[in-house]
Each structure stands twice: as structure tokens, then as C-alpha cells.
Amino acid sequence: MRYNLYLLFIFSLLLILSCKNDHNLEKKAPDISLMEVLNNLEYKSKDLHILIDKSDYELSVLHNDQIIKTYPVVLGTNPVDDKLMEGDRRTPEGHFKVRDFYPHKNWSKFIWIDYPTEESYKNHENAKQNGSIPADATIGGEIGIHGTPPNKESLIENKINWTWGCISMTNSDVNDLYKIIYIDMEIVIQD
């Protein structure tokens, strides 16, 4: 335990010193793989969860409430508010779990989340009842975390929201994240 705290202190100190008073850690942090960080801290993948902050364009991997690593992301082309229906190009908000994960021919890896959830259906039906979406609208699905098409990683660097509602990362980042993903891993997406 004491050794883990020492490693965490050293790692945190390196991060702080590498930032040189810049508050944007992910651009200045040393390029250490997520597996290497976990091994150094002796954390297990099963003890991790993911937080996606839409307003900050960040995906963070957490152990309890401690951020282990953060990656830049982009969202659906209509990034504001919660997904209410198929085709609205919004990224859903709420509590989700990993449904499946697999290599993908178009964008490296796909981490499929369990959207729509029961809460998603409630929001969808409420939106129909109050007239904010058409009465015949469908809820959609197939939402996940994935990479970019080949040679399009600048979409992430330039914060260009390009998906139909998914969360997109650079291919190197999704490959790094993919190594710790497991079925039913918790994912929170917030505005």
C-alpha cells in the first residue's frame, strides 16, 4: 500500500512538473500506456470505470474517484444535450455499461455501450409526449466508443464532432483504452 502511494506521488509529481503551469494535462503528460500505469499502481481492470465529459471533450479512466488517465474525444455532430431519438446526432448522457467490444474495419476498435437504457427510453417517451420530437421517432442504438477513419485523427486534435452520436478518439488512444475494457464496465456520460 505504501509503495502504491509512493508510485502515485511520483507519477503525479511528474505530471505536474511536465505541465509547467498549463492546466491542459493531456497535452503535456508523458506518453505512458494505460496498462503501464495500472501495472505500476497494481490496479486491476475490473476496478476501473469510465467518465466521458462532453463539455470538456474528455474521456477519463477512473479507479474509484481517482483519474488514472484522460484522453481527448469528439462527439456526435450535435453535441449539446442528451440523445432523444435516432438521427438527432447527439451523444447520449447517463449511466451505461459496456455491452461488447471488438476490432472494427473502419475505425480500429468499437466499444459498444448499452444505449438505450431504461432511463433513455423514459426520456425518449417524455420527449414524444411534450412534442419536442416526432411521435413516430425511434430511439436509435449502436452507440459506442471508437477510433477514426484512416488518416483522419486530426478530427480529434481539431475537436471536430463528426459521429452520429458515438464518442471518437484517436486510433492509438482507443487501442490503449481497449486493453482494459471488459463486459459490463461502467461508463458515465455527462454534459
Query: Which of these is catalytic: 23, 63, 104, 166?
Result: 166
37 belongs to a structural domain = no
181 belongs to a structural domain = yes
Residue 7: count other Cβ atoms within 10 Å of its Cβ. 14
35 belongs to a structural domain = no
Using pLDDT thresholds of 50, 70 and 90, give the confidence band for residue 31: confident
Using pLDDT thresholds of 50, 70 and 90, give the confidence band for residue 1: low
Q: Is 104 among the residues known to form the active site?
A: no
144 belongs to a structural domain = yes
**Helix orientation angle between 34-41 and 2-19, rounded to the nearest 10 degrees:** 140
Q: Answer yes or no: is pLDDT of 79 > 70.
A: yes
Mean pLDDT, rounded, for 141-166? 96
96 belongs to a structural domain = yes
Q: Is 63 among the residues known to form the active site?
A: no
DSSP per residue, 169-184:
--HHHHHHHHTT--TT
pLDDT digits (tens, 9 = 90+) for 113-127: 999 999 999 999 999
* Closest residue by Cα to residue 180 from 75, 93, 109: 109
Q: What is the DSSP letter of 133?
A: S
- The answer to whether 188 and 91 have CB atoms below 8 angstroms apart is no
Sort residue 176 into left (φ over 0), alpha (ψ -120 to 50) or beta: alpha
**How many structural domains comprise the chain?**
1
Domain that holds residue 101: 46-190
* Closest residue by Cα to residue 170 from 147, 144, 151: 147
Query: Which of these is catalytic: 19, 23, 49, 146?
Result: 146
Please report the pLDDT score of residue 21 as a whole number. 38
For the question of whether the overall pTM of this predicted structure is more than 0.95, the answer is: no
75 belongs to a structural domain = yes
- 170-187 in b/e form (b: 16+ CB < 10 A) is bbebbebbbebbeeebeb
73 belongs to a structural domain = yes
The enclosing domain of 168 has a CATH number of 2.40.440.10
27 belongs to a structural domain = no
